[in-house]
Amino acid sequence: MRTTVGIIGAGPAGLLLARLLHRAGVDCVVLETRDRAYVERRQRAGILEQGSVDILRECGAGDRLDREGLTHRGFELRFEGEAHRVDLPSRTGGRTVTIYPQTEVVKDLIALQLAGGPPLLFDTRVVAVEKADGEQPLIRFVRGGPQGQEDTLECEFVAGCDGSYGASRRALPAGAVSMHARTYPYSWLGILADVPPSSDELLLAGHERGFALHSMRSPAVSRLYLQVPNGTDPRDWPDDRIWDELDVRLAAGNWRLRRGPVLAKSVSGLRSQVIEPMRYGRLLLAGDAAHIVPPSAAKGLNLAFGDVVTMARAFAHWHRTGSAALLDRYSDNCLRRVWQAQFFSHELTTMLHAAPGADAYDRAMQLTWLRRVTGPTAAAAELAENYAGAPLV
C-alpha cells in the first residue's frame, strides 16, 4: 500500500487530521490498533474549548455537537467552604467552553470518515516506523490480531497520533529528541455516575484534604473525581466512601451533591510530558504522542486538535505549492501553544491539590493564590483566558 500521509492512531488527533487532509485534497490512510467499538467507548476528555468546537463545525462534524453539547459560560472554584464563580465570556471577549464527551467527538469523526473519507483500518497494529529520516518512510503493521498478516504502508510523511505508548515514540532514535517530564505525587480517582449533575457548571475544589471535581458528560450522567495518593487501589474506595469524601471537599453553603449508581471507577496518575522537537525527519508527532498534561485544566484533547490543525495547514501548503516551509516550522509553531498549556495545567494542578507533606505555610500560599484568581484582578482575567483557550488558527 502507498499513501501521502500515513496516520497512526484513530483517536481525536488522527481522526481530525484525516478529515482536514481529505478536505485539503491530501491522500492519507489511518491505521488503528483497536476495533471500532473500543475506540468509540473509551471514556476520556469532556471539555471542548471554543477553538475545538469551531474546527469541528468547520470540517462538518458539528451537527450533533451543536444539538447535544452543553455550553458553559463559567465554572466555580471552591475553597474554605465558599464558592467563587469564574465568568468566561466577560473576561475573554465572549468565549465559552462546551461539554461534549470525547467518545461522541470520536463517533462523529469516524462516521464522517467511513462515509466517503480516506481509508480507516481498525484492528491494525503498527509495529514499526522505518526510514523516517529518509525520503520514503515505511510503516509496518499487522492486521487482525496477533496472528494476523504483516503488511507495509509506504508514505511520504508519517503522522504519529498514537498516544504516549504507541509505535511513533518507539521509532525515535535515542538522542534524536528530548523528553521533558514530571510525575505528580498524587492521582485521581474518577467515577461516572448515573445521576443528573448537581450543578449546571463545573466545580473545582481546592480543599485541605485534597482536590475534588464535579463535572458531567450529559444532562443525565455525572463525572466526578477525587485526589487520592499514588498507588491507590479503587477497591479500597466503596461507593459510599467516595460520595462522603466528595460531600466534604465540594461543600459550599446549602449546595447538595446528588448521589446515584456508579457506572465506572478508575484511578489514573497525573503526568506532564513534552517531546521536543515534535518531529524526527518525516515523522511528525501530534497529541498525546507528543505531550501529556495533567487533566486538571482539560487541555489534552484541545492541544491534540491544535497540533493537527497546524499540521494539516502545513501539509495543505506543501501539497499546493511544493514548499515545506510550514512543515519545517510545525514543531516550533506547536510548542509555543503546548508550553503555554503545560504551564497553565501545572499551575491549576498545584493550586488545587494537597501535596504530600504540605504544611500550614504551603496551604496559606495556596489560599492566597486562590483568592487572587477569584478576585477582581488581572490574575482572574488570565485564569479565564487560559481556561477558555486561544483560537486554534
Binding site for ligand FAD (CB under 6 A): 8-14, 31-34, 39, 44-47, 102, 125-126, 161-163, 166-167, 268, 287-288, 295, 298-302, 304
In this complex, which beta carbon is closest to ligand FAD, that of residue 88 or of residue 167?
167
Q: How far apart are CA 256 and CA 269, in angstroms?
A: 28
Of the candidates 347, 355, 334, 187, which has an alpha carbon nearest to the alpha carbon of residue 274? 334
Longest dimension (CA), the chain: 65
**Please, what is the minimum distance in Å from the beta carbon of residue 377 to ligand FAD?**
26
Q: How far apart are CA 245 and CA 222, in angstroms?
A: 16
**Please, what is the minimum distance in Å from the beta carbon of residue 13 to ligand FAD?**
3
Pairing of strands 279-280, 283-285: antiparallel
Using DSSP's 3-state secondary structure scheme, residue 42 falls into coil
**Please, what is the minimum distance in Å from the beta carbon of residue 45 to ligand FAD?**
3
In this complex, which beta carbon is closest to ligand FAD, that of residue 117 or of residue 163?
163
**Please, what is the minimum distance in Å from the beta carbon of residue 289 to ligand FAD?**
6
In this complex, which beta carbon is closest to ligand FAD, that of residue 9 or of residue 281?
9
Task: Identify the DSSP state of 280.
Answer: E
Q: What are 134's strand-pairing partners?
A: none
Q: How far apart are CA 182 and CA 167, in angstroms?
A: 22
211 φ, ψ (degrees, to nearest 5): -75, 150
In this complex, which beta carbon is closest to ligand FAD, that of residue 231 or of residue 357?
231
In this complex, which beta carbon is closest to ligand FAD, that of residue 215 or of residue 366?
215
In this complex, which beta carbon is closest to ligand FAD, that of residue 128 or of residue 358?
128
**Please, what is the minimum distance in Å from the beta carbon of residue 46 to ligand FAD?**
5
Q: How far apart are CA 263 and CA 332, in angstroms?
A: 42
**Please, what is the minimum distance in Å from the beta carbon of residue 363 to ligand FAD?**
26
In this complex, which beta carbon is closest to ligand FAD, that of residue 42 or of residue 320?
42
Using DSSP's 3-state secondary structure scheme, residue 378 falls into helix
In this complex, which beta carbon is closest to ligand FAD, that of residue 11 or of residue 210?
11
Q: How far apart are CA 390 and CA 50, in angstroms?
A: 8
In this complex, which beta carbon is closest to ligand FAD, that of residue 29 or of residue 81?
29
257 φ, ψ (degrees, to nearest 5): -90, 125
**Please, what is the minimum distance in Å from the beta carbon of residue 272 to ligand FAD?**
12
Q: Is the peptide bond before 356 cis (omega within 30 degrees of 0)?
A: no
Answer yes or no: are the C-beta atoms of 82 and 252 closer than 8 Å.
yes
**Please, what is the minimum distance in Å from the beta carbon of residue 267 to ligand FAD?**
10
Q: How far apart are CA 341 and CA 322, in angstroms?
A: 32
**Please, what is the minimum distance in Å from the beta carbon of residue 305 to ligand FAD?**
9
Segments in 197-267 forming alpha helices (H)? 239-250
Identity of residue 319? H
Angle between helices 325-352 and 300-321 (to 10 degrees): 170
Identity of residue 76? E
